[in-house]
Chain A
Amino acid sequence: MHATTRLSSTIIGTLRASTARATPSFRQRCAYHSYDYAQPPPFSAAETKILSSAYAHVPDHGFTIDALKLGARDSGYLDASTNLFPRGVFDLINYHLVTQRLALKDSVQFPDANDGKRIGVGSKVRSLTLTRLRANEPILHRWQEVCISVKCNVKMFAN
């Protein structure tokens, strides 16, 4: 009995220690939605500046390193500052994915349930999905290139 208690207290102690250590990194990549805490911005100020300027070049230049370089130049950085993005073009794609996902919250507003008809969860999911898909519209011709390159690579990977 005594041994069991000691064992459980050791386990709880270890858990406590590990949670105490894990807290900061866990908070950074919060895996749940909280109403009480604002999410930290996904990109740093410099990253946002370069990536948003680069994103404006995507319709003309596609998701390429050229767009990144032009973005860096537009926001007053050297071309070499694209080294800030070790994943290169993928960081630009990731910027598109993350910002469009976070924009959903503001772009779709459902009326309150009080006034009149209540909207079902299913139709909410439908309109949210459609909104997100339409957010691809300005860069759709470039998105196609991304999709094709993914398909080619997956095929190569599978063979």
Chain B
Amino acid sequence: MAQPTYIPPSLHELAALADEIWFLAGDQSVDTSWYTKRATLSTIYSATEVFMTQDTSKNFAETEQFLDNRLQDLQTVGGFMGKLGEWVNYTGHSTINVLRSKGVRI
């Protein structure tokens, strides 16, 4: 894992782990969140793993706390991104509709 040659297989394994976790959790999304969920879980997992190697607390309580905080962040950001997507979608459609009503052929 330490050599640059082994970075791609390591990342592949990380992606496989994130996929496995979402699959076992019974996630059935088929939209773009399929990708974002796996990508965010990969980053959270690797960050927590590094945190854990430095953790000296009893029964890894701090690692657990760290993971919970990251998942909390994810929910906040995820909600924001969802709303942002909705807003872009709505604004885009209304812009096109206004232009169409002005006789622009779109």
Residues of A bordering B, CB below 8 Å: 33, 87, 90, 93-94, 97-98, 101-102, 104-105, 108, 121-122, 124-126, 128-130, 132-134, 136-137, 140, 143-144, 146-147, 149-150, 152-153, 157
Contact = CB atoms under 8 A, between A and B. Distances in A.
Decide if the interface of chain B is mainly helix, strand, loop or mixed: helix
A137 B64 CA distance: 13
A133 B105 CA distance: 56
Given A102-B20, A125-B41, A153-B4, 4 more contacts: A105-B20, A126-B71, A137-B60, A144-B54
Contacts, number: 87
B21 interface: yes
Contacts of A33: 19, 23
Contact of A128 (B9, B24, B75): B24
17 contacts: A33-B23, A97-B13, A101-B17, A101-B20, A105-B20, A121-B26, A121-B27, A125-B25, A126-B68, A126-B71, A128-B24, A129-B67, A140-B53, A144-B53, A147-B50, A150-B2, A153-B4
B2 to A, nearest CB: 4
